[in-house]
Structure 1
C-alpha cells in the first residue's frame, strides 16, 4: 500500500510539474512574427524587375517555399538541425551531448541550438553565449513550436537570417551574393548560403572571401558524409570559385517601377517583359554613349493586339543628373513634329477627300496670315497623296487639315486616348505639323490604334489595369492604306532584315524633338530623342537619329518577323485613272499665281563673274525649266531661286517654264 501511495505521489508530482511547465511555456510572450519585406516590381512572368530597401535600409525579400531549391533545404537541415522534424523546439539529445562534452573538455565543443532556437534568437536579437539568453531562446522555441508549423518556422528563418551587411534572408542573399534567385542552386551555392548565417560578418564574401570559401567547403564535406551529396559533387563544388563581391539587385524599368511603388508596398506585377526591357535599356544606353550628356532618349514598345506595354525606357541613365535621367520622357509633353500627319491622311481617306493615288498640290498657299512652308523650302507641284505623305510634305497636309477642320483632328486624338495640350486657345492648322503637346506614351497609343485596324488601343503597363472601351479612330480600310503607304518608305541603312515596317519620323520646330514611330503585324513602338529642358538640338532629325533605333527595338521584340495584315475586303485598290472623278484630284483646281522673273529685271546690265546669273521667281508651279537663248540648260528646278549657268558676255535671253506650261522671260546684257 505504501509503495502504491508513493507511486501515486510521484506521478502526481510529475504531472503537476509538467502542467506547471506547460503553463510556463504557454505564458511566453511571442515577439512580432511578421516582418516588412522589400517592395518588389515583377514582370509579366514573375521575374524581378526592381526591388526597394525597407525603411531601416535592409534588403529583406518575401520568399515562399516553392522559390527555394530542395537541395538547400536538405543541406540546411542536415547541417544545422538534423532532428528538426522530430523535436519540439529543443533537441534534448543534442543538449545532453553538448553539456557532456563541455563538462568533459572544460569548454564548449559543440552547440545544441536548433533552427527553432536560432529563429527565437533572431526574433529577439538575443545573445548566443549567456545561459540566461539560452534559456530564454529555449522557452521561446518551445512556444513557437506550439503556435507555428515546422514549415512556418523554416519560412521565418529563411526570411530573417543574417547574411552580412544589410542583407537578410535567403532570397536577398542569393540575389546579392550569387546574382540569381534561389530556385536553382548548385551544391556550392547552396553550401555557401547554409554557411553564411553562422558568422555573417566574418564570412562576407566581399570582405572575407577566403573565410567564406573555407566555410562553404566545410559544409560541402559534411554534406558528403551525411549522404546529401556524393563525393564527386562535393569535390566539384570546392573547385567552384566563391563570390568576391555583391551582385546588383535588378534595377530594370526604374520609372515605371517608381510609379508602381506609388500605389503602395508589397508586390506589383507589370506587363513588361524583363528580357526585352533589359535589351532596350542597353540599346538606349549604347546609342547615347559618347553623345551630348544633356541629351535624353525614351522608348515605348507594346503589343498592339493586346495593348500591353512590353518595354518602357524613360531615359538612358536613371541616376544621370546632367541629362535629367530621373525625368520619365515617355510621359513628358513634347511637340510631335510630323508624326501626326498619318492621322490627318487617314481621316481624309475616311471623309472621301482623298485616296493614296489622289493628286494634291504642293504649291505656295496662304490661309489668312498663315503661309506654310515645306521643311526643305522646296515646292514639288502636283503629286500623289501617297508621295506627299512619304515625303512628309507640309503644304499638302495643311490643305487636308483645312478641309477636315482642326477640331475634327482634336476630337479624333481624344478618341484615341491622346491628351493633347494646345497652348494659346483653339487649335489651328499648324496642329498637323506638331503644333500641340503630346507624350511618347500617347503617340504610341495612337499608332497602336492605326496598327490595330483603326480601332483605338488603350495601352496598359500594370497587370489588371482598367482600360476604357475602345473607340474607332478611322476605318479599317483607311488604316490599312496608311500602313501600306508608310511601309513603302525605305528603311534606315542600319536596319536589319526586319520585314516590312510601317513607320513615320518627325522633327519638331527648332530641332527640339526627334521622333520615330512604327509598327509591324504585332508590335508598335515609339522613339524620342531630345533634351528634357526643351532646348534645341542642332542637327537632330527623326529620320537619322530616331528611326534606326526604332527598327532595332522592333527587331529585338520579335522571335521572327511578323507580317503586316492583308487589306480588308472593302479597300479601294485602283489606279488614279480608275478613281471616281472627285478623288482623282484633291479640291478644286487652283489658279496658280502668274509666273514672273523678278530678278534680273528685263533690260538689266550685269557684270559677269563666272558664277552664273542669279534668278529669282515669283508665282508659277514647280518644277521649273530654264532656257538660255532658247537652249534648255536645266530642268526639275524646285526652288524659286537658283543660278543660271551663263558665262559669255553680250545680250542674253533667259526663259523659265513652270509645270503648267506658263513661261516668263527677260533679256539682259552681260559685261
Structure 2
C-alpha cells in the first residue's frame, strides 16, 4: 500500500490518467443494454404459452428469458463460440485468424466475435463493421464480463439475437418456426435455430432452404463428432425436414391477453389459467357458437373460478365470431342487464335479516305497483308458493313482492356490500324492477359474488365457525396468494346458514333437457345454479357454484340486439353444464349447524308452526329466523258432526261442535293455489240456520287496479266483452256488480261478470250480500 502511495505521489499525471481511464471504463457500459419494446406474453399456471401481442416496433420479441434449453445452449455454443466459458469476453486466436483472412482477401469476411461481443453489437444496433467499432466492442465486452455472469450474458444473446424476418429471441423463434416451447425442440430443430442469427436476413425458414439445410447439418455433424449425440440421434436429426413458413402464435386466451396488456404491456405474465381447461372450454364455446349463430346470436363469454383460491381457471371473453359482431370485445367485464340473476341475493338477504324462512309461502298473484305490473315468464300464477321454490323456479311476481316486503333500500344496501360496480345509481332509480333486470352487472362481479358466498360457507365449516373479514375479495388471474383477511366471529355480508339455504334452493333449479334426470347418475354432481334472461331477450345468463368451482356464462349479442329463444336455460345453461363436466366432481356443502337452530315448521305454510298447525316437521333454520311470525294460515274452525258445514253456538249445541285446524289462504291466493294444488280445501260454508261471522274478504282477480285495457274485436268486427273476476272468501254469497254506479248483474259461487264498457275511465264496484264493498278504477282504451 505504501509503495502504491509513493508511486502516485511521484507519478501524479500518469496516476490521474489511469484513474480517469478506469472511471471511464467503469461507466462505459450503459446500465440497461437493451431498451427495445417487447411483446406482451401470457402463460398458463404450468408456464405454457397462452398468447402474445407483438411488440410496438412490429417485432416478435419476447421478454428476456431466464433459462436456456440445454439442447439449444449446446447448439449455439458449438456454432458461435466454443470457448465462451473460457475467454474474458474476446478470443485472441479467433481475432487473429479473422484479421489474417480479412487482410489476405482485402475485405471483411470474418468477424471473429465472441457471443459477448455480439451482445454488445446487438445492443449498439448493428453499427458498421469497422476495426474501430470492433475495438469498442472488445472493450465493452470485457466490461460486460465483469458485470454479468456467463449464463446471464448468454441469456442476453439468445433473447435479443435476430432469427429472420421480424422474429427476435429464441422463445419467439421456437413458437414462430416450430409452434412449441424452446424446451420442447429436438436436436435438429435446436440446430436450425442456432444457425439463424449468423445470417438472419439471408437464411431463415421459407428462404434459401437448401443453404439452411446444409448449414444445420454441418452443425449436427460437429455435435456428433464431439461426442455430444450418438449416431442414431445424428442420423434421425439430419433426416428431419425444415419448416417452410412461420406459424401464427397461439391465441388461447386472447381477451385475457388484451386485459393484461393494458396494465403490464411488454411483460411476460404467468397467469392462473389451466391451459387444458381453457382449450376444452374454448372448444365448447365454439361448438355452441356454431349452433347459436344460426339464430343470429353471436357472442358468448365464460368465466371459471376456483372457490378456495379465487384463481381464474378459464377466461373466455367472447366467442370466435367475426369483427362485424365485436369479436374483440371482452364481455366478461361489460355491464349487461341482469335479468333474474340477482334473485339469489334477495333470497339470501331476506334469510339473513330473518324476514323469511327457507320454505315460507309467498304470494304469487296478479300484482300491480302503480304502473308497474310484473309477470311470470309462463304468464301463470300459483297463488302461493314456498320462497325456495319461487327462487328455484325463478318466478318474477313473488320476487317483486318479496322485494317490496323486504324494502328496496334494504336490499340495495346488500348489493352495495357485494361491490357490484355497475349497480351505480340509487335505489329509487331502479325501483322494484331491480330484481328482474332493471339494473346492470357483469359476469366478473357476479361470479366473484357467488364464489365469495361459497367460500364463506366453506371457511365457516373449516375454521371453528368463524368468518374471514375479506371474504368478498376480487378474483385474480396473476399467480399470487389471496389475502382473505382475519378470522372473526362477525359475518361479512350473509351468514353461513342463509347462504346454505340459498344454495339448497338453487340446487333444485330445473336443468336443461339433456341434464333433466341428473340426480339418477352417479357421475352427476350437485350444483347450485341460476339462470337469467333480460327484458327483450337481450341477455342470457347461467351461473353455478359447487364447493370448489364457480362457472359463469353469458350469451347474447354485444350490440344489445334481442333474439327469440335467447333464454338463459336454453342458451347459457347447456354451456354451463358442459363446462362443469370438465371440472373435478365436488362434494356438496356441509351444513353450518352453528348458525342454525332446530325448530318446528308448519309443513303447509313453511312458517314456524303455531299450536294449531296440523302437520309439522323439525327443521334447521337460520338463527335469525326465530323472529319470524308463527303460521298465519292455519285457523281453528268449528264444524258440525258431518264436517260439511261451519257452525257456532247460535245453531248447534257446543257438545256437537267439532273443532279442526284448517289451512286457508286469502281469497285471491286461494283462487290460483287450488288450481295447482288439488288437495287444497276451501272453508266449508256456514250452515243456513247459523248466524255466520261477517269477517269476509274479497279481491279482484282481473282487472288490476288502475290498469288500462284494450278490448280486441272478433272476426265479425264486434268488440269482445271484458270479463271481470273476483275471488271471495265465501263464494256462496251473492255479489252485486256496478259500473259507474250502474247495476250490471249479480253472481254466486263463480264470480265472473262479462261487461262491455265504453272507452274511457270507469269505476267498478262489487258489493256482497253482507254489505262488503270493493272498488277498482280502470281505463278502457280505444
Whether 1:280 aligns to 2:387 is no
Q: CA offsets per residue over residues 437-496 of structure 1, 9 Å max, x none?
A: 111211112222332346753232253598786963322122111211221233323458
Report the secondary structure of 1:289's partner residue.
Answer: helix
Greater CA deviation, 355-364 or 394-403? Answer: 355-364
Q: 1 CA distance for matches of 2:722 and 2:511?
A: 37
Match of 1:524 in 2: 550
Distance 1:596 1:252, change over 3 A: closer
On the 8 A contact 1:297/1:314 being kept in 2, the answer is yes
Greater CA deviation, 224-233 or 235-244? Answer: 235-244
Decide which of 325, 329, 332 is 1:330's aligned counterpart.
332
Greater CA deviation, 561-570 or 447-456? Answer: 447-456
Q: How many residues align?
A: 597
On the 8 A contact 2:723/2:752 being kept in 1, the answer is no
Q: 2 CA distance for matches of 1:139 and 1:306?
A: 52
Cα drift, residue 552 of structure 1 = 1.7
Match of 1:484 in 2: 504
Cα drift, residue 422 of structure 1 = 4.2
Match of 2:640 in 1: none
Q: What's the C-alpha RMSD, in Å, of the aligned pairs?
A: 4.0
Report the secondary structure of 2:542's partner residue.
Answer: strand
Whether 1:394 aligns to 2:409 is no
TM-score by length of structure 1 reads 0.78
On the 8 A contact 1:357/1:575 being kept in 2, the answer is no
Decide which of 287, 299, 304 is 1:301's aligned counterpart.
304
Greater CA deviation, 490-499 or 519-528? Answer: 490-499
Q: CA offsets per residue over residues 489-543 of structure 1, 9 Å max, x none?
A: 3332345844111111111111111111111111112111122222322221000
Whether 1:316 aligns to 2:336 is no
Q: 1 CA distance for matches of 2:633 and 2:248?
A: 60
Cα drift, residue 38 of structure 1 = 2.9
Match of 2:528 in 1: 502
Distance 1:376 1:30, change over 3 A: same
Could you tell me which runs of 5 or more consecutive residues in structure 1 were left unpaired when the two chains were aligned.
1-15, 599-606, 622-655
Whether 1:222 aligns to 2:309 is no
Greater CA deviation, 484-493 or 460-469? Answer: 460-469
Greater CA deviation, 304-313 or 423-432? Answer: 423-432
Report the secondary structure of 1:516's partner residue.
Answer: strand
Q: CA offsets per residue over residues 187-218 of structure 1, 9 Å max, x none?
A: 11211121111221332213444443333222
Q: CA offsets per residue over residues 390-424 of structure 1, 9 Å max, x none?
A: 22111212221111111111111111222314489
Could you tell me which runs of 5 or more consecutive residues in structure 2 were left unpaired when the two chains were aligned.
1-14, 458-466, 611-628, 635-663, 669-697, 704-713, 729-746, 755-782
Match of 2:609 in 1: 580
On the 8 A contact 1:356/1:385 being kept in 2, the answer is yes
Q: 1 CA distance for matches of 2:633 and 2:240?
A: 74
Matching of residues 203-602 of structure 1 within 5 Å: 203-265=203-265, 266-289=267-290, 291=293, 295-317=298-320, 320-419=322-421, 420-422=423-425, 425-453=428-456, 457-463=472-478, 464=480, 472-495=492-515, 497-556=523-582, 558=583, 560-569=584-593, 570=596, 576-577=602-603, 579-581=608-610, 582=629, 584=631, 589-592=665-668, 593=698
Cα drift, residue 234 of structure 1 = 1.1
Q: 1 CA distance for matches of 2:105 and 2:429?
A: 93
Q: 2 CA distance for matches of 1:133 and 1:179?
A: 37
Q: 1 CA distance for matches of 2:539 and 2:320?
A: 19
On the 8 A contact 2:724/2:752 being kept in 1, the answer is no
Distance 1:461 1:317, change over 3 A: farther
Q: 2 CA distance for matches of 1:340 and 1:186?
A: 54
Match of 1:640 in 2: none
Matching of residues 18-33 of structure 1 within 5 Å: 26=25, 29-30=28-29, 33=33
Q: 1 CA distance for matches of 2:145 and 2:753?
A: 108
Match of 2:725 in 1: 618
Distance 1:575 1:490, change over 3 A: farther
On the 8 A contact 1:355/1:583 being kept in 2, the answer is no
Distance 1:399 1:313, change over 3 A: same
Distance 1:126 1:416, change over 3 A: closer
Distance 1:458 1:137, change over 3 A: closer
Cα drift, residue 615 of structure 1 = 11
Q: 2 CA distance for matches of 1:401 and 1:362?
A: 13
Distance 1:108 1:467, change over 3 A: closer
Q: 1 CA distance for matches of 2:365 and 2:591?
A: 32
Report the secondary structure of 2:42's partner residue.
Answer: strand
Distance 1:586 1:137, change over 3 A: farther
Report the secondary structure of 2:529's partner residue.
Answer: strand
Q: 1 CA distance for matches of 2:409 and 2:752?
A: 45
Match of 1:601 in 2: none
Q: 1 CA distance for matches of 2:336 and 2:298?
A: 14
Report the secondary structure of 1:509's partner residue.
Answer: coil
Cα drift, residue 97 of structure 1 = 4.5
On the 8 A contact 1:81/1:115 being kept in 2, the answer is yes
On the 8 A contact 1:421/1:438 being kept in 2, the answer is no
Cα drift, residue 172 of structure 1 = 1.8
On the 8 A contact 1:302/1:309 being kept in 2, the answer is yes
Distance 1:229 1:437, change over 3 A: same
Report the secondary structure of 2:530's partner residue.
Answer: strand
Greater CA deviation, 540-549 or 133-142? Answer: 133-142
Distance 1:293 1:128, change over 3 A: farther
Greater CA deviation, 543-552 or 382-391? Answer: 382-391
Cα drift, residue 596 of structure 1 = 8.8
Distance 1:108 1:596, change over 3 A: closer
On the 8 A contact 2:362/2:402 being kept in 1, the answer is no
